[in-house]
């Protein structure tokens, strides 16, 4: 039987070309997503190798091999999604809180007064090794966390911060969220970071502070109850054992005035 040299796809050339375009588009989108969100070079190399093998198999008309490699590609995609699921969750949860706040400090004098109050309170807590988490809301609102916490809506004062974080009070375990120059809530609890490169000497407060900085643009101050050391978190990064002077500089940079 002679081979049909004038091969015409069973569903017509348009359907055939459209199918090829969809496949190429899917591969391009997949690669863009992988290169943006997957940080393992081994996975990227494996993906590239499998796609090249599929192309070679199709050119060589080895359709069984192409199907088998495609199945491997699908399985690898499934395992990659499962492996990076925690990061995807953080990525989408961060988008969920990216609603812009409309409450900022309205002048530099109020900002200076707020910073002095925070420095005084942190110095007091640190010297007595009283654990604390103080989060300062920036562009993105933390309304969901505020709603699930103990609402206060009170002016930020040294006395109030000292009372909240005193070990004998009911609110000392959670975090305080500050919006503008007001404490919106206390006893706020954050989803801890699942990053594997966090030093072991950082406890649950520090992991919670890193977690909120991964999910929003908030700036958080942490006081360790074990050492009294001061740390700050922003953009998923923690800076540990900082001085009050360094904290003051960071507050000046992070607190928004409009």
What's the pLDDT score for residue 1?
45
DSSP H helical ranges for the chain: 12-37, 41-59, 63-83, 85-96, 108-127, 143-147, 158-165, 204-215, 244-254
Q: Which residue has the higher pLDDT, 50 or 5?
A: 50
Question: 255: closest CA among 181, 184, 185?
Answer: 181
**Looking at 1-10, 196-205, 211-220, which range is the least confident one?**
1-10
When pLDDT is averaged across residues 191-210 and rounded to a whole number, the result is: 91
What's the pLDDT score for residue 96?
47
Q: Tokens standing for 41?
A: 């070079």
pLDDT tier at 169 (50, 70, 90 boundaries)? confident
CATH of domain 108-254: 3.40.1700.10
Instruction: Give tens-digit pLDDT for 102-130.
Output: 567 878 999 999 999 999 999 999 999 99
Instruction: Give tens-digit pLDDT for 13-61.
Output: 666 566 667 666 766 666 666 666 555 566 667 777 777 887 787 777 7
In the chain, where the domains are located: 12-83, 108-254
DSSP state of 257: B
Instruction: Give tens-digit pLDDT for 63-106.
Output: 787 788 778 777 777 776 666 655 555 555 554 454 555 567 87
Q: How far is CA 141 from CA 99, 105, 177, 217, 239, in A?
A: 6, 14, 10, 9, 23
Residues 6 or more apart in contact with residue 122 via CB below 8 angstroms: 132, 134, 221, 223, 230, 244, 247
Q: Which residue has the higher pLDDT, 194 or 185?
A: 185
What's the pLDDT score for residue 17?
64
What is the percent of the chain where pLDDT is above 70? Answer: 74
Q: In whole angstroms, give the CA distance from residue 196 to residue 194.
A: 6
Rounded to two decimals, the pTM is 0.64
What's the pLDDT score for residue 86?
57
Q: In whole angstroms, give the CA distance from residue 27 to residue 35.
A: 12
Cα angle 174, 198, 185 (rounded to 5 degrees) comes to 15
């Amino acid at each position: 039987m002679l081979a049909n040299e004038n091969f015409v796809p069973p569903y017509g050339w348009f359907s055939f070309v459209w199918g090829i375009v969809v496949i190429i588009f899917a591969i391009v989108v997949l690669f863009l997503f992988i290169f943006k969100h997957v940080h393992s070079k081994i996975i990227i190399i494996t993906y590239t190798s499998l796609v090249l093998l599929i192309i070679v198999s199709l050119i060589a008309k080895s359709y069984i091999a192409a199907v088998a490699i495609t199945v491997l590609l699908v399985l690898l995609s499934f395992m990659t999604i499962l492996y990076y699921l925690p990061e995807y969750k953080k990525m989408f949860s961060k988008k969920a809180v990216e609603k812009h706040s409309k409450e900022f400090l309205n002048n530099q004098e109020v900002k200076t007064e707020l910073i002095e109050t925070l420095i005084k309170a942190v110095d007091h807590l640190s010297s007595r090794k009283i654990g604390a988490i103080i989060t300062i809301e920036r562009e993105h609102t933390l309304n969901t966390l505020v709603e699930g916490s103990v609402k206060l809506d009170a002016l930020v004062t040294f006395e109030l911060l000292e009372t909240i974080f005193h070990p004998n009070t009911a609110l000392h375990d959670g975090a305080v969220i500050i919006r503008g120059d007001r404490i919106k809530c206390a006893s706020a609890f954050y989803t801890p970071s699942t990053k594997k490169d966090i030093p072991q000497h950082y406890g649950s407060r520090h992991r919670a502070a890193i977690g909120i900085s991964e999910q929003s643009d908030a700036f958080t101050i942490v006081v360790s109850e074990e050492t009294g050391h001061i740390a700050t978190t922003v953009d998923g990064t923690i800076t540990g054992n900082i001085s009050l002077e360094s904290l003051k500089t960071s507050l000046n940079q992070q607190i928004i005035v409009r």
